[in-house]
Amino acid sequence: MELRLDGKTAMVTGASSGLGARFARVLAQAGARVAVAARRVERLAQIAEEIAAAGGTARALAMDVTDVASVRAGVAAAEEALGPIDVLINNSGVSFTKRIGEVEEDEYDRVMDTNLKGAFFVAQAVGRRMIAARRAGRIINIASAAGLRPLGQISVYGMSKAGVIHMTRSMALEWGRHGINVNAVCPGYIETEINRDYWATEGGRKLVQMLPRRRVGAPEDLDGIVLLLAAEQSRFVNGAVIAADDGFTAG
């Protein structure tokens, strides 16, 4: 059974690097027209060009998820360029490492404004348009294993992702009657260009030895679950919170 998205329009936030860039490429390879959104427009343009060179269709759009006006303008621009959005990958996220007693207000606000408030208003903007157009759709919120299991020194990040998990279930409950499926994926430790150097450090090597199978994942390890949740074959999956963490939160 092949999972295809031909004729669909998708939007991926936080698409300028890491998992977001990977998700955009995967959806485009499956036939979707993809709007890639983030603040780093120059990087987005490069990703859109790479997708086009591979035979896909993509548009780069500036969007600051901490600014609701920017979110709504970005969603409108995506639909104007590519047609009504059928699939949203709600992926923007930031983090920092600090003990709870050392967290400053601006650090707390930055994480919550991006990871939780931003995710909420992106999903709201897309969901409103789906409902108004009477179009079924898929919203996939990228949460984290840290939202399922407390982890040291990234408490605020974990709190924000736990909020994304609850948000997912609430949206699934309210919007299911409109044909909108809302699900969450909770990645574990995934190596990307942002954290690659860390895994070569002593601390990184020690952490790997604490993982169930003594390894970290790669962005492509999430291809299957994201593509399934975006495709028609997942029509009976709504409100699911799926750990994609190699067993990290199983114990």
Q: Which residues are catalytic?
A: 157
Kindly report the backbone phi and psi dihedral angles of residue 25, in degrees, each rounded to the nearest multiple of 5, phi listed first: -65, -40
Q: How many CB atoms lie within 10 A of CB 52?
A: 13
Reading the block at residue 244, the tokens are 């994609």
Exposure pattern of 17-34 as b/e (b: 16+ CB <10 Å)?
bbbbbbbbbbbbbbbbbb
Residue 193 CB partners (closer than 8 Å, separation 6+):
17, 18
Question: Closest Cα to residue 27, out of 62, 56, 60, 61?
Answer: 56
Of the candidates 231, 248, 247, 229, which has an alpha carbon nearest to the alpha carbon of residue 239?
229
Phi, psi dihedral angles at 182 (to 5 degrees): -120, 120
Q: Are 188 and 249 in contact (CB under 8 A)?
A: yes
- Cβ atoms of 47 and 100 closer than 8 Å: no
Residue with tokens 């992702």: 161
